[in-house]
Structure 1
Amino acid sequence: MNQSSTDTLRWYSYLSDLSERRWGTALKVFVSWSKNSRGVGKAVSDAVREIFDPVVDTFISQEILAGSRGLDTIDGELNDTDFGIICLTRANQTEQWINYEAGALSR
């Protein structure tokens, strides 16, 4: 088994233990992106779901349904988040939106 596989198994075990301590529910990971990091955010979200399913559930704003109250949905998801992944680039590091989500994740 290579180092990457070993590291993935360690993370899976760690997240599984955390998930069990939360009364058997999946851990919530919020993936934040802005501007040119949309593709990276989607790829990260998909990879986390694939690797850590079923102990981790991800949320990315691309999942918000058209016509829904997007800010309310994002605020609700941020309040219910255990971990956050911020897809930061030089182009988006000063964007208000990504900084808002980063601040909300720090709570």
Structure 2
Amino acid sequence: GLVTAFPRETVAIYQLMKQGRQAEALAIYRWFRPLLDLDVSTYLVQNIKLAEVHAIGTNDRVRAPRRPLSGTRRAQVEAVIRSALDSRPVLPEF
């Protein structure tokens, strides 16, 4: 899922929880939640691929019968992704 697009944030949540730093982990999770909601869709593969495009510079190619997102649906997903990237949290060093 989205761990490929946002590996540092995923690891930070895990490490913070292991260290008992729940408030810090929760803050990152709250930032991450709108992105995670993209995973609960019949378009989850396309949503994740589009998140990877914006976060790590890959492409949005998917295998048939799926097709890359387009039109309004693509614009809506990109808005969620851009909002997250614009407010990406500063992560602690481990």
The structure with the greater share of residues assigned to helix is 2
TM-score (norm 1): 0.27
Give the number of the structure whose alpha-carbon radius of gyration is greater: 1
TM-score (norm 2): 0.29
The structure with the greater share of residues assigned to strand is 1
